[in-house]
Structure 1
Amino acid sequence: MPSPLVRRSIWVIGAAALIVGLIIAMLPLIASTRLVRDRIAYEMSSWSGYRVTIDSTPEIEVWPSFRAVLTNVAMTQWGEPDHPPVIEAERMEIKLSALAALGGNVVFSSASMIRPTLRVERTADGHYLPALPAGGRIASSVKATREAVAANAGQAEPGRVSSDPFGMVEVSDGRVTVFADGKDREILTGVAGRVSWPTLNSTATLSVTGIWRGESVAIEASSAKPLMLFAGGEAPVTASLTAKPATASFDGIVKTTENPFVDGTVKFSAPSLRRMLEWSRADVSPGSAIGSLSIAGRMSGDAQRLKLDNAEIGLDGNPGMGVLNASFADGVPSIAGTLAFETLDLRSFLAAFTPLAPVAGAADAAQTGPSEIDTTFANRMNLDLRLSAGHAVAGSVTLSEVAANVQVKNGLAAFDISDAAAFDGNLQAGIRFDRKPEGTQVEMRLLASDIEGGAFGAATGMPRLFPIGRGNISLIMKGPGRTWGSILDNAEGTISATFGPGALSDFDLAGFQKRSAEGGFFALGDVSKGTLPIDGAEFKASISRGVVKIDKAEAKSPQGRLWLTGIVPYVGRGLALSGGIVPPDQPAAQNGATPPQAMFFVGGSWNAPFISPIRSTPPALAGPAAPVQ
């Protein structure tokens, strides 16, 4: 038999268990009578600052946790009963304190919102924000903290920052809409995540995912002093955005009001700049923007100006470093800075930041159809970047020790290579688009000094047109146009070149003369197995509306003088040239007469020229050689 002490202990334990069981059994009854709908709505309203309405009487659940289940919850601005709720949820589950409930109080520890909707509206300054409440405990705590910040030179005393408990709010299957003209337009769907904020003076964290413009987006953020951040004081912030088109992160100090500023480390990367811009629907058209872009550095500044120090930029795998400055003071974003690259693809760079790079080469553009250039880009952004690169490529052209500048401003877009080593010589080049009321005006220029002509011809795909040897080339083109094809069709300009001693590659003079003497046309390729040494060469031509008119093309050789005149239409790449070969021992012509020579006509195309001999005349019968017009 148990002792009396043991029996009393058993009775005490049993009585306590019975009391606890009765309390648990009576909780729904107590809650249903004391935690009525209006009481819960009142507590939610006192926290949020919104007018809270609940469609039906809350359901009280005891197991596995004590909670209230609410349906059709709406949070509306006070005094605006006819305006759609700022926040509404089909279902809301609130975890309650059982002890507080027995005392008739409502104390929340967490809340879950199922299928909620957050409505935002466009403000006067163009931002999209929800209507903020004028009161509530959070708003009051923010106001008190703001006053404490103002009274203590930007830092609130710890004792004056509210330590009220908040808890955790979870969201599932939510959405964000823009309310305008009486209608909702979804901008974010599938929202799920949580806000954890134990007390108002402790660290708050945010973790949320959703679908924006067809892509899944994840946002993470935290701050050790969130109330200070909302009140306009300085607060540490860590934030990140992760999506397939782009990722971004920030870690530093933020101040949101009264001379707002940021100071911290920022990172951004996009595997495809084109895809990222299409996804963000930025009001910037980069034309043929391709490839990847990454930016990292220390960002500091305010809403008017930002500076990125020690900037590390990666463009299609080409790393660079420098300093960037951004200004937003004039309504049009302005970016200026200096960037240095070890290697750089100039076409990718231009395609990423300007409309200056064609989708394909200039020659290809004319064949594949119009590639319209978005010159309005120059009205939506100001850009002034100074570039340097140890090595650079522009299509098939390889450059070194490059110094260049990109400018986009007030309808003008320009790219200039002020200095570069290329083809064993020096190269300068530039292209600019000037958007004027009468239409877009385009200017292209190229100056190659003391270059090796053979290398230039090989890089441009026209090895037969440029002799092997050192020389100079100048090209200037101007004219209207909106597509790369129309620019070349309408441009006016000049081309000139001079070369010293060297050779004409892929040209067998003896074979050429033999085939000419035999008569009948033949392909220039049939007499390409050879090289003709020359003492020098000179070329002059004018460009007019897609046609190159050769005024002078002459090469002097110990074996004779070779000359050409005629036209080369750009469209179709046809040839209509006449030429001749004057023997080296032929005396100068008298009275304007043409000396004896082998004359010929050149037809066909750039890639497949054909030669048709005309005549070979003695001095007495020779007349002036009239170029084909």
Structure 2
Amino acid sequence: MTKTIRIRILWSLLAFLVVIIGLVLATPYLINTKVVKKQIAEQISDWMGLPVTVSGEPVVTVFPYLTVKLRDVEIASGLGGDEPPLVSTQTLRAEMYWLPLLLGNFEVRRFHLMQPNLELIKDKDGAFSWDLRKGSLFKTDDDSGRLTLSDVTLGNFRITGGVAHYQDRTTGEEERFSNVNMMFDWPSTEDLASINGSAIWRGEKVDLRAQSGKPMELFAGGLSPLSAKLSSPNFSVSFDGSAATISNFQFEGDFSFDTPALGALAQWLERPLPSDRDLGAASLSARANLIGASIALSDLDVKLDGNQINGVLQLDFRQERPMVQGTLASDDLDLGQFVRVPESIEDLMAYDLTKSKAAKVDFDIRISSSDLKLGSVNLGQAAASLMTRDNQVSFSIGEAYAYGGRLEATFNMRQKPDDPSIMICSLRAKANGVSAGGFTREMFGNEFLNGTALVEVDLQAEGTHVSDALADAHGSLSVVLTDGELQHFDMDVFETALQQEKGLDREKLHAGNARFDVLSVRGQVANQRLDVEGLRLTSGKRALLGAAQYGFATGELNFPGTLAIYKSSDPATHSTEPPEKEIPFLLRGSFDAPRISLRKVQDAVVPSDEEILAPGVPAEIAPSGDNAQAPQSDDSPIGGVALPLVLSDPETGLSIKNTSTQP
């Protein structure tokens, strides 16, 4: 190439560049801005199917892009003209292709809404302010009649510094999002669509990323790859799989969720957990299958505060009260971490049972664990279930191997039909082969009773609070313990006080323990009192027998019983052989301060307070030795001598006369 040709090419390029620059500089004067304003407004209105108004005059700039700025733009609400506009913004920037615009074609490459206000409203009839079904973005399929995406060219949409207000008029819920910054890239409906942005919600920044590989297929009822992630300092949730919109929105794929503090997340969401405990880090991963408002989670792996749970879970939000169903398993699980446990007896008594009516979720959960705990109660290997329906609650321990034995229990609570402020409760429980020592140690911090226990409880109650229910509790109770020991009750001291007719030394009584072969209690609970129909404590050759009453409110015990002494120490023979001696007694007072009442047979009077045995105060007894004159009793055994001992209650006048023989 010669020098002359090179110079001509250079001048040609320079001339072309000058023309282009000139056209660019002249563009604002060559474009009819009113036509551009009208065309952009009509294009947006055509896409969305909603009226668009532009009040301000457009401004055209050419650097860095050919941009048309529209002032005071409003997009009407899909609920009608009486509602606030769906979108209102002071500035809408439309970046356009330069050459097509000069030729009269309005091809917008990017829309940028600066500081817009968005009013997202759901009215009482279920209609939405963002309903775009009347626009050209959607069309009705001729074959199926379903609404699908149209094949249109879109572009890039950007929001900067926006504010969004969501309002659900059916529930009264409202949410506000500030500093909304969003980038939505969708060149055309057949291309990959992605969204990336953030907003401030409830004082925290929330980030969103989502992508659909085939959005056209997604809206047409086919499958499309879909992935999304929503995150903030309080939580992170993501899913990756395939989605479709055949009849309802459907998704199948991998789902994950994690939070550094579940309790803090619940407070931030204004959905406090039932437990007041500040639950810590939690994570969940599963294979999710979502159909409409129902989601099934399989291969579930949940970690929460050291608890790891596996299983399946079904969540159904189609009804007014959401339903949660599932079967879960765990090696070690403490349910006390997730249940509100009162900190004191006063708090427990004041607990409102009707709070179950305020529960917004129905549960049907079955749980199995190799080591199940409920607060301070260790249930060991157990299977349990929880079911709530409306105002009914049922908690059942179907099988638990704890404290060396087997436990079963069912607790039901339902609303009283004629008085919604009262709950009807029932408890049925059975324990077989359980270590009483391990149970009392964990429950009360003191192993005051041990042995192998068989317990059956059947109680019913009504009330608004726990205190009301306990006051109304009525039913049956049966306890049998074998090969055990009763702490703080010395059988030898007790027998000596009766045999030798001495005062009962309370300190000595509490200092010792009583080994027993069998301790059985059978009775009825009613009117805040336990009426023991039959009580038997067998310790070697001795047995305490009788009926008793214990007042839960007063803590008072009334036990008119008999100390029976047998020839054999085998308790199996006691039911067939008569005792060698029977010494009636009346044990009254509290467990910490028991008293025995005695009186003389020949006086036949109600004893005074001074005659009631107390520590260090002996009973008044008949003289012994050569001068003793023991009166005969008409009902004394033949050949025997009746002890001058009659037990009496100084308040009721109840007396039991000794009819035993003295060997």
**TM-score, reference length from structure 1:** 0.80
> Partner letter of residue 161 of structure 2?
S
Change (3 A) 1:14 1:463: closer
User: 1:451 and 2:451 equivalent?
Assistant: no
Question: Is the contact made by 2:48 and 2:132 (CA closer than 8 Å) also made in structure 1?
Answer: no
Q: Report the counterpart of residue 300 of structure 1 in structure 2.
A: 289
> Partner letter of residue 169 of structure 1?
R
Q: Distance in 2 between matches of 1:334 and 1:113?
A: 41
Equivalent of residue 477 in structure 1, options 459, 465, 477: 459
CA distances 1:364-403 after superposition (whole Å, capped 9, x unpaired):
6446x3344423257x544333322111112222223312
1:64-83 paired onto structure 2 within 5 Å? 64-76=64-76, 80-83=80-83
CA distances 1:114-140 after superposition (whole Å, capped 9, x unpaired):
22222233256747552325123x23x
RMSD: 4.2
Compute the displacement of 1:415 (Å). Answer: 0.9
Compute the displacement of 1:441 (Å). Answer: 0.4
User: 1:603 and 2:590 equivalent?
Assistant: yes
Question: Is the contact made by 2:471 and 2:528 (CA closer than 8 Å) also made in structure 1?
Answer: yes
Question: Is the contact made by 1:250 and 1:265 (CA closer than 8 Å) also made in structure 2?
Answer: yes
> Partner letter of residue 202 of structure 1?
D
**TM-score, reference length from structure 2:** 0.76
Compute the displacement of 1:29 (Å). Answer: 2.4
Q: Distance in 2 between matches of 1:179 and 1:430?
A: 40
User: 1:57 and 2:57 equivalent?
Assistant: yes
Change (3 A) 1:109 1:556: same
Change (3 A) 1:334 1:48: closer
Q: Report the counterpart of residue 166 of structure 2 in structure 1.
A: 177
Change (3 A) 1:116 1:177: farther
Q: Report the counterpart of residue 471 of structure 2 in structure 1.
A: 489
3-state SS of 1:24 partner = helix
Q: Report the counterpart of residue 412 of structure 1 in structure 2.
A: 392
Q: Report the counterpart of residue 591 of structure 1 in structure 2.
A: none
> Partner letter of residue 374 of structure 1?
K
3-state SS of 1:376 partner = helix
Question: Is the contact made by 1:560 and 1:581 (CA closer than 8 Å) also made in structure 2?
Answer: no
Out of 58-67 and 7-16, give the one that drifted further. 7-16
Out of 537-546 and 194-203, give the one that drifted further. 537-546
User: 1:397 and 2:377 equivalent?
Assistant: yes
User: 1:310 and 2:293 equivalent?
Assistant: no
Q: Distance in 1 between matches of 2:147 and 2:129?
A: 27
Q: Report the counterpart of residue 376 of structure 1 in structure 2.
A: 357
Compute the displacement of 1:40 (Å). Answer: 2.8
Q: Distance in 2 between matches of 1:91 and 1:455?
A: 74
Q: Report the counterpart of residue 503 of structure 1 in structure 2.
A: 485
Q: Report the counterpart of residue 279 of structure 2 in structure 1.
A: 291
Out of 430-439 and 265-274, give the one that drifted further. 265-274
Point out where structure 1 has 5 or more consecutive residues left out of the alignment. Answer: 352-357, 589-593
Q: Distance in 1 between matches of 2:534 and 2:329?
A: 42
Q: Distance in 1 between matches of 2:447 and 2:494?
A: 15
Compute the displacement of 1:428 (Å). Answer: 0.8
Q: Report the counterpart of residue 311 of structure 2 in structure 1.
A: 322
Q: Distance in 1 between matches of 2:343 and 2:461?
A: 19
Question: Is the contact made by 2:584 and 2:647 (CA closer than 8 Å) also made in structure 1?
Answer: no
Q: Report the counterpart of residue 15 of structure 1 in structure 2.
A: 15
Q: Distance in 2 between matches of 1:130 and 1:535?
A: 78
Q: Distance in 1 between matches of 2:535 and 2:161?
A: 76
> Partner letter of residue 351 of structure 2?
P
User: 1:442 and 2:425 equivalent?
Assistant: yes
Question: Is the contact made by 2:547 and 2:561 (CA closer than 8 Å) also made in structure 1?
Answer: no
> Partner letter of residue 557 of structure 1?
S
Compute the displacement of 1:425 (Å). Answer: 1.0
Change (3 A) 1:575 1:324: same
User: 1:234 and 2:223 equivalent?
Assistant: yes
Q: Distance in 1 between matches of 2:394 and 2:81?
A: 56
Q: Report the counterpart of residue 354 of structure 1 in structure 2.
A: none
1:213-612 paired onto structure 2 within 5 Å? 213-243=202-232, 246-258=235-247, 260-269=249-258, 280=269, 286=274, 291=279, 294-300=283-289, 302-303=291-292, 306-327=295-316, 332-348=321-337, 351=339, 358-360=340-342, 363=345, 365-366=347-348, 369-376=350-357, 381-438=361-418, 439-461=422-444, 463=446, 466=449, 468-509=450-491, 529-558=511-540, 560-561=542-543, 569-570=551-552, 574-576=555-557, 582=563, 584=565, 595-596=582-583, 601-603=588-590, 609-612=592-595
1:110-121 paired onto structure 2 within 5 Å? 110-121=110-121
> Partner letter of residue 164 of structure 2?
R
3-state SS of 2:222 partner = coil
CA distances 1:262-314 after superposition (whole Å, capped 9, x unpaired):
322233445666655555567x9846586366543223353375433223334
Q: Distance in 2 between matches of 1:627 and 1:129?
A: 83
Q: Distance in 1 between matches of 2:466 and 2:168?
A: 43
> Partner letter of residue 459 of structure 1?
E
Compute the displacement of 1:627 (Å). Answer: 11
Q: Distance in 1 between matches of 2:483 and 2:82?
A: 89
Question: Is the contact made by 2:561 and 2:586 (CA closer than 8 Å) also made in structure 1?
Answer: yes
Question: Is the contact made by 1:255 and 1:261 (CA closer than 8 Å) also made in structure 2?
Answer: yes
Structure with higher Rg: it is 2
> Partner letter of residue 300 of structure 2?
A
Q: Distance in 2 between matches of 1:299 and 1:623?
A: 78
Change (3 A) 1:394 1:3: closer
Change (3 A) 1:294 1:412: farther
> Partner letter of residue 92 of structure 1?
L
Q: Distance in 2 between matches of 1:27 and 1:371?
A: 75
Compute the displacement of 1:195 (Å). Answer: 0.9
> Partner letter of residue 432 of structure 2?
S
Change (3 A) 1:621 1:177: same
Q: Distance in 1 between matches of 2:533 and 2:348?
A: 25
> Partner letter of residue 408 of structure 1?
T
Q: Report the counterpart of residue 43 of structure 1 in structure 2.
A: 43
3-state SS of 2:191 partner = coil
CA distances 1:78-105 after superposition (whole Å, capped 9, x unpaired):
9955543222212222222222333333
> Partner letter of residue 84 of structure 1?
P
Q: Report the counterpart of residue 603 of structure 2 in structure 1.
A: none
Change (3 A) 1:304 1:88: closer
